[in-house]
């Protein structure tokens, strides 16, 4: 169920064509989940500023069924991944973790318990 959502003011043409599949594979490995359960969504061309500046910036949202115990390590790995694969320095984006319980997520009409 891991979900990676990126909101950025970068134009769509600055997002590499292989960013979505690379992110999917990376997230599956990092979160130790099957890639068949991973969803990646990129929202480019957003009207946004960070720290009063319209320089390239982003928000990354990570939704996952977890207790959050590995968020600290995951945060550094995601930061390095994003900074390496997009023209976004690490001081220009935040990562927001939403740790879900299985009973709050449904797939194929059934909650994941």
Catalytic residue list: 2
**Separation of alpha carbons 102 and 82, rounded Å:** 27
- DSSP H helical ranges for the chain: 19-31, 71-85
- Characterize the bridge pairing of strands 58-65 and 39-43: unpaired
Q: Which two tokens stand for residue 54?
A: 């319209």
């Amino acid at each position: 169920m891991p979900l990676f959502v990126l909101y950025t003011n970068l134009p769509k043409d600055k997002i590499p064509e292989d960013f979505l599949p690379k992110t999917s594979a990376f997230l599956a490995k990092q979160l130790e989940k099957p890639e068949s359960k991973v969803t990646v969504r990129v929202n480019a061309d957003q009207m946004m500023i960070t720290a009063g500046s319209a320089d390239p910036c982003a928000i990354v949202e990570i939704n996952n069924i977890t207790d959050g115990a590995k968020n600290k390590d995951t945060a550094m790995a995601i930061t390095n991944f994003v900074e390496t694969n997009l023209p976004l320095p690490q001081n220009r984006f935040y990562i927001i973790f939403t740790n879900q319980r299985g009973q709050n997520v449904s797939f194929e009409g059934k909650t994941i318990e």
